Structure 1
Amino acid sequence: MSLPQMPHTPHVRHTPRPHLLAFLIGSACLIASCGGGGGETAPAEQLTANELAVVIANGDALSESIGLAYQRARGVPAANVIRIDLPTGQAAISASDFSAVKAQLDARLPGHVQATLLTWTRPSRVQGSCAMGITSAFAFGYDTAYCGGCRATQASPYYASGSGRPWRDHQIRPSMMLGAATLSAAQALIDRGVAADGSRPRGSGYLVRTSDVTRSVRWEDFQALAAAGSGLPGVPMVYLDNSAGTGSNLVTDRSDVLFYFTGLATVPGIATNRYLPGAAADHLTSHAGRLPDANGQMPVTAWLDAGATASYGTVEEPCNHTGKFPQASVLVHRYTAGDTLLEAYWKSVARPGQGLFVGEPLARPWPAR
């Protein structure tokens, strides 16, 4: 088992931070209300239920129940509900077996479908010579260019883009796993996503630089976002700096959490907060997406259990390349500009091959602007 801690210097490799430039350009665009990640115009098209496929594992009663619950709640067309032959009793699927599953799915997907929702929690990764998160593998296909430990993996053309049609524009279908272990948990998560739609919530984003130096490498992005703000009234971005270790690494007992981004192997106290419908939260660590046990770290599903609507984590040791994790500036900008939660989360990760996206994909609190 890997240690519950990412490698320390000199093994840690830091990638450049082009997202900061993209964020500053995007911030200027926010002020002008022109939208668009990296300075692009906000897309006239956002993902809808008609463009989402719900993928169910044949013979898995829970997957079937969750998939049908989601279809009903979101009005997904029956033609977009696809059943595939997938073994759900194991944490990983082999690359060769996955290739057959993906080919089966691709052959059945209607041509207008732009993204997919997975309705199981195992398998969460595709294992060949390296591991890809299964949501990324369904988007790109299993390819060792997208995984392999600490090296700089293949970049996503969808990163920070203004595209509202990823299949049409980039020939990828971004995927999200609902991430619920029971039907009741799935229904609660679906309800949060539906409640988020058009709600224009007034809440806070918490951006935490913790005393864990290795896992807090996103702090520059956090600081820039807090300085620029969300661009929306009533949605402040709060930067908390505990790099000196003299205060607290945690956000607890808050009633207005819209965003919570941090860097720790395990984040205590998250259930003491109230997360508004549509809230996004994640923690930078090595194995949060490696379900069900995250190799002893805190799994991404803990955020969903606490009340968040989506999260992200990696399934193999990625080291702390900032590009392999969500950039808060991009996510907040794309989300508040009108993207769905699936679109905003996917657009915030430059190199998502080792990652797993979980949550309710169609949550959309803000209209396009």
Structure 2
Amino acid sequence: MPSPAVAVPRVGGRLTNKDLGLVINTADPYSVEVGEFYIRARKLAPAQVLRVELPVKASLTPEEFDALKTAIETHFGPRTQALALAWTVPFAVSCNSITGALALGYDAGPCVDAHRGCAPTRPSPYFNARTARPFSDLKLRPAMLLAAKDVAAAQALIERGVKADRSLGLRGAPPAHAHFIVTSDRARSARAPLYPPPGLLRGAGIMVHVQQTQALENEERVLVYQTGATQVDKIDTVSWLPGALADHLTSFGGRLDGKGDQMSAIEWINAGATASYGTVSEPCAHQQKFPHPQVLLLNYAQGSTAIEAYWKSVAWPLQGVFIGEPLAAPFARR
């Protein structure tokens, strides 16, 4: 059963294009092309862009990661609050996600063996936080990969993010729909007790649905889709709103190279979602390692960007990679 509404702080503003730093991998043609497209789409200044040369592979070594982190810390000043990484790989640093390691620091502890990977990981001070200035207030830069199956799909993702801005919550508009799914997979439906109460979220124009089914089919105006399964069928039948958020609780959804036997988070992006999340190494079914449904929904509905809503919803994000268009803000009013 869904839980009662949780307390989510009233957000104090949101991130804008002026707060974002973009990192481009010059060794990766995808990264170069997608990065240049993003600069134009979000009107980024030259000082907001860092070009580095990284190995084009799924996982960086700790030493390779240290060089990247040093370059980022050297290039970006205190104005830069968050990062967009213009690539699909690398998505990991050993058993850490690259986004988690950049924000919280690399931690070799969970990588020693599978038992440690199942243990609690470093908590995020950004979880369910009020601040819209994560680096200024917390010395933490949330990061998100501009990840997609190819350049054309990445460009479409970016266009969806830009189109999403200030598009929802308007008086007289039909509602957006948020679907929270309980599947027959009990272990992967561990978030079900955290689902919001069903019904209309007044002031935002979001109709919340809590459903027992294996997958949605032919649903319209979908803004949020959260479920738990190794594979999610029929996502290509869903009509997604620009700015849609979608993820599934499973062990290896964050493996973006398509080499795992579980559905990758990138499939949500390819289907038409604008942001997603998945873990890159075995997390076990800790709710804290996956997006908290109510924290995600209520931050987004207040006008937060996709990167803020997703990052604020994960208490232990070290193993999880965030992907999508970070600045999408459908409920923003300015």
Query: TM-score range, shorter-chain basis?
Result: over 0.9
- 1:136 counterpart = 2:118: no
SS of aligned partner of 2:22: strand
**1:245-265 alpha-carbon deviations (Å, 9 max, x no partner):** xxx311011121111000000
SS of aligned partner of 1:266: coil
- Check conservation: 1:287, 1:294, Cα contact below 8 A: no
What is the aligned partner in structure 2 of residue 42 from structure 1?
A: 11
| Whole-Å separation in 2 of the counterparts to 1:352 and 1:313 | 10
- Check conservation: 1:135, 1:356, Cα contact below 8 A: yes
| Whole-Å separation in 2 of the counterparts to 1:71 and 1:153 | 34
What is the aligned partner in structure 2 of residue 361 from structure 1?
A: 326
| Whole-Å separation in 1 of the counterparts to 2:331 and 2:99 | 25
Cα 1:239–1:294 change in 2 (3 A) is farther
SS of aligned partner of 1:259: strand
Cα 1:146–1:193 change in 2 (3 A) is farther
TM-score normalized by the length of structure 2: 0.93
- Check conservation: 2:104, 2:122, Cα contact below 8 A: no
- Check conservation: 1:118, 1:175, Cα contact below 8 A: yes
- 1:307 counterpart = 2:272: yes
Q: How many residue pairs align between the two structures?
A: 324
- By how many angstroms is 1:227 displaced? 3.9
What is the aligned partner in structure 1 of residue 172 from structure 2?
A: none
SS of aligned partner of 1:236: strand
Code of the aligned partner of 1:220: P
Code of the aligned partner of 1:197: D
TM-score normalized by the length of structure 1: 0.84
- 1:122 counterpart = 2:104: no
What is the aligned partner in structure 2 of residue 24 from structure 1?
A: 6
Question: Percent of aligned pairs with the same residue?
Answer: 41
| Whole-Å separation in 1 of the counterparts to 2:286 and 2:333 | 31
- By how many angstroms is 1:111 displaced? 2.2
Cα 1:343–1:146 change in 2 (3 A) is farther
- By how many angstroms is 1:77 displaced? 1.3
What is the aligned partner in structure 2 of residue 157 from structure 1?
A: 125
Unaligned runs of 5+ in 1: 1-19, 26-36, 242-247
Code of the aligned partner of 1:204: H
Cα 1:162–1:178 change in 2 (3 A) is same
| Whole-Å separation in 1 of the counterparts to 2:130 and 2:199 | 20
1:77 to 8, 22, 45: 45
| Whole-Å separation in 2 of the counterparts to 1:334 and 1:368 | 14
What is the aligned partner in structure 2 of residue 259 from structure 1?
A: 224
| Whole-Å separation in 1 of the counterparts to 2:197 and 2:259 | 30
| Whole-Å separation in 2 of the counterparts to 1:354 and 1:111 | 26
- By how many angstroms is 1:233 displaced? 5.2
- 1:191 counterpart = 2:159: yes
Cα RMSD over matched residues?
1.8
- By how many angstroms is 1:41 displaced? 3.3
What is the aligned partner in structure 2 of residue 68 from structure 1?
A: 36
- 1:317 counterpart = 2:288: no
1:213 to 182, 186, 191: 186
- By how many angstroms is 1:231 displaced? 3.5
